[in-house]
Structure 1
Amino acid sequence: MRILVLHQNKFERVGYDRAFDHDEHDVVYAGPAEDLDNIPAHVRCGKLELAPDSPVADQLRPWLRERPVDRIFARRELLILPAAVLREEFGIPGMRPAVALQFRDKVVMKEILDRAGIRVPRWYPVTALPERIPWSGKVVVKPRAANASRGVVVCDDYAAARALIAERGGEPVLAEQYEIEEYLDGPVCAIDGFLFRGEPVAVQVARYVGTCLDYEHGKPSGTVQYDAPELAEWACRCVRALGGETLTFHLEAILTADGPVFLEVAARGGGGHLGEMLFRRTGVHLDTVDMATDVRGELATDLIREPTPGTYYGDFLFPGHVYAGAPVSVSVPPEVLADPMLVKYQIHPEGVPTTTAPGYRPEHLAFSGMIAGPDPATLESWLWRTFAAVTVSPGVLR
């Protein structure tokens, strides 16, 4: 089989070499030079360097005309739609653009789920704002296709939201790229999983400790697994309603007093340590099992390990991108690092510039790690104490 991988990940984190045999298959990785460089030297493969500032699909079309492939894999959210476009143009099996868009555009996904009877926040695309909205209070201004809360602004009311939109009116295609949304109170949770032919293989429910929006503004955030089988099934129902049959997903919902409300979903696993947390608890590595199943045409059950019952996992993320490339000094109390609940951690090296790219990759963060224990409430308390105890101090760019 000829396989094209759109590669903008850490090779070992995605587990390509566990998903398919590189000696048996003809595999080519296409991506920026810095990502191609993290492929181990012993892996038999081709490499196709892509320019980071040019559309991926445009760069790959001439190559695909000369060298047809049987599969295209994309494990990063920004590459899922370009991969779907190329599959449709070249007759390659896998997700098509119509379905990919339903897992990318927040207006499209809410329209579909609203028609399916699943509760979503009330919303309007910026292209169709009414004179008045049918709710009072805060209004969220949100990019339709961004991830990780980038570009999200919570306004005090509709007038403030409209003023913000007018202020940004000179930005390119703002109207086509943004929506407004009803602000709802309640804890936010992440549901990650893998469906095979519409049936759940593994699903993880984790509640956020802190919020993604706070994280974008410099505060630490984290997640803790907990048992919520009804919420897991509700999330699978959302994914199926959007056309998801065999795929990895990361869905976010807000838990209101009247039940869960859908926020957004992507056809990829969650960031930070969510994927490893799910693997440790369920035995399913989302990326590996997903790709292996696609190559084989049947569920890759041999790659699923025995779960570890009785243990819950959490993670903590102190952002790095908010320091705009400046080095940081991270002060962590010794008792935090010596705590038996701490499974793994990574501290940004002293004097090394931080990343300027927003996101949740542990290697880009000031301080990050995983914890484990028998009680989710205890894990959550540990996170709050650690958020208060750890300090990150920016240095000076030279």
Structure 2
Amino acid sequence: MSARSSPAYAVRATGPATLVAVVDADGMGAFLPGALAHEGVRSVLVRSDAPNPHLANQPDLSGHSNGLDRLPEVTHRGDLTATADALRRFGVDRVVAGAESGVLLADALSAELGTPGHGMSRPTARRDKYEMACAVREAGQSTAACLATDSADEVIAWARGHGRWPLVLKPLASAGTDNVLFCRSEAQLRAGVAAITAGRDRYGGRNRAVLVQEHLAGEEYFVNTVSSGGVHHVVEVWRYHKRPVGDRPMYDHEEPVPPDDPVVGVLSAYTLRVLDALEIRNGAAHTEVITTGRGPVLVECAARHGGSHTPSVVSRFLGTDQLACLARALAHPEEAARGRLPRYGPRAHLRYVTLRSPRAGGPLSAGRFAPVRALGTFVELALTMPEGTVLPRTTDLASSPGYVYLGSADPARVAADHRRLRALERGDLYDGPRR
């Protein structure tokens, strides 16, 4: 599915990219230079001044060398002009974010270099969740009722006016489930505001305010897209399944939604309007939406590719993946403009399961996962912590040991192995080295 942007935005013709700067090629972003190379496009890496340490220190999820150490790298030290000049000397003709920490810098560098990027009338709306909601609401699209403030008293006054529980409390620039709280009382709100504003986000920035939002009841999805010259292409739609850990929502598993499911059309149309509202015109986006009684409502939209899906597995089961589509759109923008990027189509039932340690455990050891690999529907395991890390209890994505893909033509087998995996976790899977 592809669509042109709102007529309010001029579609800028773009030529093929030959050298792309990837800002913070961390996590799944480490796969992007390889996808670009497959399309004949070279890469240079940019290290921002505030990368996510949880991603920057992750092991190589590909299981083999990704070749990033052989690519030229520019370190941004706060001087935008200097960094742009360095990229100009390399001959960079595109800048993209490789992780959430690179979104604002990628936008600023694109504007400085004059390369195709996003609209810059309100760039902070692509990171600040309150600014994001305002931009989308002003474009006439449904968003959650919300307030941004550093005052617990203002949060409580807003909650009394709202009159419904629970409420969601989070940092303005949260990522994943970082400090996202479900609050069911004024006391929990007050404690949550104190905890969030006393801490820092995943990029080391001080949480100077909080976002309080209405709790949206409904099914939650994410829509991965690629845009080129203001033309948007829906790569894939997945449904989230979460289970709370204490007062926090936590991912359990997610599954792709067949493209002929009626909800895909509804979600896609809404998502493309969100992209226009946020002026996302060139690059990937990951948009989270909840279907409610009043229709689709935005959770948040990230102006970069999705953060945790292994491209080779997704392509094997869906026929394509977001990084491959992004690389294709950069190398062949004319195909994106004509709606000719690959379309996804599930070839078997696939389930992405987030690993959850129910208690603090022993040192992380890949050797302990033999029972997981022995599951009949096992596809792939990715550990997101270095070998030997002493495992904490899983309370959010940063404290999850990793994830597992399960796949089969029979969804009942996948569901049964999912239950077996959770039983292994409740047992001794994480308790210590196996001898």
- What TM-score do the two structures reach when normalised by structure 1? 0.76
Question: Which of 256, 261, 270 matches 1:225?
Answer: 256
Residue 79 of structure 1: how far off its partner (Å): 0.3
For residues 33 and 89 of structure 2, the distance between their equivalents in structure 1, rounded to whole angstroms, comes to: 24
Residue 394 of structure 1: how far off its partner (Å): 4.5
Q: Is the 8 A contact 1:126 1:179 kept in 2?
A: yes
Question: Which of 122, 142, 148 matches 1:119?
Answer: 142
SS in 1 for 2:142: coil
Q: Does 1:9 align with 2:26?
A: yes
Any idea what the Cα deviations from partners look like across 1:30-79, whole Å, max 9, x if unmatched?
Answer: 339979x9552896x4334x38xx65858725634765632223221110
Structure 1 residues 347 and 78: CA distance shift in structure 2, 3 A = closer
Q: Does 1:162 align with 2:193?
A: no
Aligned to 2:4: none
SS in 1 for 2:334: coil
Q: Does 1:269 align with 2:305?
A: yes
In structure 1, the gaps of 5 or more residues are none
For residues 316 and 188 of structure 2, the distance between their equivalents in structure 1, rounded to whole angstroms, comes to: 45
**320-329 vs 190-199, greater mean Cα deviation:** 320-329
**Larger RCO of the pair (alpha carbons < 8 Å, separation 6+):** 2
Q: Does 1:287 align with 2:309?
A: no
For residues 61 and 15 of structure 1, the distance between their equivalents in structure 2, rounded to whole angstroms, comes to: 21
Question: Which of 170, 173, 192 matches 1:142?
Answer: 170
Q: Does 1:28 align with 2:44?
A: yes
Residue 266 of structure 1: how far off its partner (Å): 0.6
Structure 1 residues 252 and 144: CA distance shift in structure 2, 3 A = same
SS in 1 for 2:304: coil
SS in 1 for 2:381: strand
Residue 154 of structure 1: how far off its partner (Å): 1.8
Q: Is the 8 A contact 2:329 2:341 kept in 1?
A: no
For residues 277 and 411 of structure 2, the distance between their equivalents in structure 1, rounded to whole angstroms, comes to: 30
SS in 2 for 1:121: coil
Alignment map for 1:1-398 (pairs within 5 Å):
1-9=18-26, 14-20=31-37, 27-31=43-47, 39-40=66-67, 45-48=71-74, 50=75, 55=78, 57=80, 60-61=83-84, 63-64=86-87, 69-98=92-121, 100-127=123-150, 129=154, 131-132=157-158, 133-166=161-194, 176-211=208-243, 214=245, 221-227=252-258, 228-229=263-264, 230-273=266-309, 275-276=311-312, 278-299=314-335, 309-319=346-356, 326-327=363-364, 334=371, 337-346=373-382, 352-353=388-389, 366=401, 368-374=403-409, 379-380=414-415, 382-391=417-426, 392-395=429-432
Residue 184 of structure 1: how far off its partner (Å): 2.7
**176-185 vs 306-315, greater mean Cα deviation:** 306-315
Residue 223 of structure 1: how far off its partner (Å): 0.6
Structure 1 residues 384 and 109: CA distance shift in structure 2, 3 A = farther
Q: Is the 8 A contact 2:325 2:342 kept in 1?
A: no
Q: Percent identity?
A: 20
For residues 328 and 343 of structure 1, the distance between their equivalents in structure 2, rounded to whole angstroms, comes to: 19
Any idea what the Cα deviations from partners look like across 1:216-275, whole Å, max 9, x if unmatched?
Answer: 979762211223323233323322332233432212122334443221111222233265
Structure 1 residues 47 and 69: CA distance shift in structure 2, 3 A = same
SS in 2 for 1:179: strand
Residue 286 of structure 1: how far off its partner (Å): 1.6
Aligned to 2:14: none
Q: Is the 8 A contact 1:252 1:263 kept in 2?
A: yes
Any idea what the Cα deviations from partners look like across 1:11-34, whole Å, max 9, x if unmatched?
Answer: 895242442479x76643233997
Give 1:28's aligned amino acid: V
Aligned to 2:11: none
Give 1:40's aligned amino acid: G
Q: Is the 8 A contact 1:313 1:370 kept in 2?
A: yes
- Pairwise CA RMSD of aligned residues? 4.5
For residues 355 and 374 of structure 1, the distance between their equivalents in structure 2, rounded to whole angstroms, comes to: 34
Residue 311 of structure 1: how far off its partner (Å): 2.1
Residue 141 of structure 1: how far off its partner (Å): 1.5
**169-178 vs 106-115, greater mean Cα deviation:** 169-178
For residues 34 and 196 of structure 1, the distance between their equivalents in structure 2, rounded to whole angstroms, comes to: 31
Q: Count residues with an aligned counterpart.
A: 387
